[in-house]
């Protein structure tokens, strides 16, 4: 979603320029306001994309990846157990899928 917001900002700028060009006979003060409104659309698109929506999306993606890692751990353990491995070996298969700093040691198991 955040990748598309700059395009919306550019579209807002183009529409603002179209409105400005339709009012080209107006005095400079009015034209300045119209051009300013067109540039605000561009700025708002870029600001929302890279300053708000993008960081929120990356944060949510990181939370999802952390949760997914535990499911992958359970999946590896269950598949190893279903393949007929001993329970200790199945636990080792599951333990190896975790990140190093989250992985329990053999003594903790």
Q: What is the pTM of this model?
A: 0.59
With respect to residue 20, please indicate whether it lies within any of the assigned structural domains. yes
- 102 assigned to some structural domain: no
Is 21 strand, coil or helix?
Answer: helix
Domain hosting 16: range is: 5-96
Could you tell me if residue 103 is inside a domain? no
pLDDT single digits (tens) 2-47: 778 888 888 888 998 898 898 888 898 888 998 998 889 889 888 9
Q: Is residue 101 part of a domain?
A: no
Query: Looking at the domain assignment, is residue 109 inside a domain?
Result: no
In a domain, 56, yes or no: yes
Does residue 83 lie in a domain region? yes
Number of separate domains in the chain: 1
């Amino acid at each position: 979603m955040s990748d598309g917001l700059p395009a919306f900002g550019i579209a807002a700028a183009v529409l603002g320029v179209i409105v400005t060009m339709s009012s080209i006979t107006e005095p400079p003060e009015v034209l300045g306001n119209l051009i300013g409104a067109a540039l605000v659309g561009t700025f708002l698109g870029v600001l929302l994309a890279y300053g708000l929506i993008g960081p929120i999306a990356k944060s949510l993606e990181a939370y999802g990846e952390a949760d997914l890692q535990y499911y992958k751990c359970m999946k590896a353990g269950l598949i190893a157990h279903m393949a007929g491995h001993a329970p200790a070996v199945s636990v080792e298969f599951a333990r190896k899928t975790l990140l190093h700093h989250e992985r329990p040691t053999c003594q903790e198991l």
